[in-house]
């Protein structure tokens, strides 16, 4: 038989836990499923220095433990497990399946499933993941102090990762597929002014070299077709993120990149009783503090939705 819960929160990043804190304090007894990566993307970062309230900074994992403890303090039921499918019924009872077996019924769902790093799709990328291949310079850059590394990508993330790594590493090879970068001008200028960053324009990664650990990268210039093997010990992929919204396809309205579309100024989706917060619906700001803010909004939206439903039933 299905378990009935009043508010189901899917995901455990800053958005999910903030929604949980607000929903729990409102007496809604939320149930939160942590998903594949408890704590979300911040658990793969090191120091967080821009989250207000931590003047000395804090590590991502510690911060997420604080979020979790605060959500638990007010009675959130925090559980391990993945929501593997949903059946969303506008204005009615929504169903969710946990780990393909346990069924949950709820009138309000808050989706805070976040986003995941994109990969190039090379075989070596997965084989050498954790052995030189990474999608997080701040997490893994430390291991490559004094060594040569490569970063692929040309957006703000790639620019940020390259300048971060340049402080630790001997040389950073930035592999850019076009003849210009997408990153903001200030970040581009910073990259270009850093003497130990070499930009490889019009270049794509043909392969990552090395059997058991990264030893180099094979780069192809798409104008000249010239192939060049560059010795590096670390290979950082910074080509953007993909929102974790696959299970909501064909039910919720998603934009072209898969981000959940919410009504302007709210967290309401196209399905009544379903709210979205954090990186699953935000392709622009993607910050811990903005995620937490939208998590709070989602809990308030859910609370008001449930209150309006209840008074409607009573009439």
Catalytic residues: 136, 139-140
- Decide if 115 contacts 279 (C-beta within 8 A): yes
- Return the axis-axis angle of helices 60-73 and 14-25, rounded to nearest 10°: 20
For the bound state, the minimum distance from the C-beta of residue 269 to ligand NDP, rounded and expressed in Å, comes to 22
In the complex with ligand NDP, which residue's Cβ is closer, 156 or 301? 156
d(CA 236, CA 125): 10
Calculate the alpha carbon distances from 300 to 28, 273, 294 in Å: 11, 12, 10
In whole angstroms, how close is the CB of 241 to ligand NDP at the nearest point?
A: 6
Return the residues of window 35-54 that contact ligand NDP according to CB under 6 A: none
The CB-of-179 to ligand NDP minimum distance in angstroms stands at 10
Position 152 contacts ligand NDP (CB under 6 A): yes
Distances (CA, A) of 287 to 42, 62, 185, 274, 279: 10, 17, 20, 22, 8
Residue number, 82 or 120, with CB nearest to ligand NDP: 120
Q: Which is nearer to ligand NDP, 28 or 154 (CB)?
A: 154
- 153, 216, 273, 295: residue in contact with ligand NDP (rule CB under 6 A): 153
Our CB check for ligand NDP shows the closer of 194 and 270 to be 194
Distance CA 239, CA 108 (A): 34
Sole window of 72-80, 88-96, 157-165, 207-215 interacting with ligand NDP (rule: CB under 6 A): 157-165
Q: Of 11-19, 40-48, 212-220, 237-245, which part binds ligand NDP (CB under 6 A)?
A: 237-245
Q: 245: phi > 0 → left, psi -120 to 50 → alpha, else beta; which?
A: alpha
Q: Does 155 bind ligand NDP (CB under 6 A)?
A: yes
282 versus 301: smaller Cβ distance to ligand NDP: 282
Q: Which of residues 165-224 bind ligand NDP (CB under 6 A)?
A: 177-178, 182
Residue number of the CB atom closest to ligand NDP: 155
**Distance between the two ends of the chain, CA-based, in angstroms?**
30
Q: What are phi and psi of 131, to 5 degrees?
A: -120, 40
CA 201-206-211 angle, to 5 degrees, is: 130
Reported in sequence order, the residue ranges of 90-170 that DSSP labels E, i.e. its strands, are: 94-98, 102-111, 115-117, 133-134, 148-152
- Tell me the two tokens of residue 186: 């200030």
Taking the complex as a whole, how short is the minimal distance between the CB of residue 193 and ligand NDP, in angstroms?
A: 17
The interface with ligand NDP within residues 1-40 (CB under 6 A) comprises none
The residues binding ligand NDP (CB under 6 A) are 120, 152-158, 160, 177-178, 182, 239-241, 284, 286
């Amino acid at each position: 038989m299905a378990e009935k819960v009043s508010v189901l929160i899917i995901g455990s990043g800053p958005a999910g836990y903030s929604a949980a804190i607000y929903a729990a304090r409102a007496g809604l007894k939320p149930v939160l499923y942590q998903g594949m990566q408890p704590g979300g993307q911040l658990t793969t970062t090191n120091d967080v220095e821009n989250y207000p309230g931590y003047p000395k900074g804090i590590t991502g994992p510690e911060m997420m433990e604080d979020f979790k403890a605060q959500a638990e303090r007010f009675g959130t039921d925090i559980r391990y497990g993945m929501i593997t499918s949903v059946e969303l019924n506008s204005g009615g009872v929504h169903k969710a399946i946990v780990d393909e077996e346990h069924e949950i019924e709820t009138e309000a769902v808050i989706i805070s499933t976040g986003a995941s790093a994109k990969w190039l799709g090379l075989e070596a990328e997965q084989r050498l993941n954790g052995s030189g291949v990474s999608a997080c310079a701040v997490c893994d850059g430390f291991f490559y102090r004094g060594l040569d590394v490569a970063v692929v990508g040309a957006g703000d993330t790639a620019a940020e990762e390259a300048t971060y790594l340049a402080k630790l590493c001997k040389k950073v090879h930035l592999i850019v597929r076009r003849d210009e970068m997408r990153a903001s001008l200030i970040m581009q200028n910073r990259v270009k002014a850093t003497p130990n960053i070499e930009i490889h324009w019009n270049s794509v990664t043909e392969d990552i070299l090395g059997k058991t650990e990264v030893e180099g990268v094979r780069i192809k210039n798409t104008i000249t077709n010239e192939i060049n093997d560059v010795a590096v010990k670390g290979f950082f992929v910074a080509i953007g993120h993909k929102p974790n919204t696959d299970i909501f396809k064909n039910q919720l309205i998603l934009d072209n990149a898969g981000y959940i579309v919410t009504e302007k100024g709210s967290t309401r989706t196209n399905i009544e009783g379903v709210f979205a917060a954090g990186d699953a619906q935000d392709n622009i700001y993607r910050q811990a503090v903005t995620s937490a803010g939208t998590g709070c909004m989602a809990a308030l939206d859910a609370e008001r939705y449930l209150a309006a439903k209840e008074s409607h039933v009573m009439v």
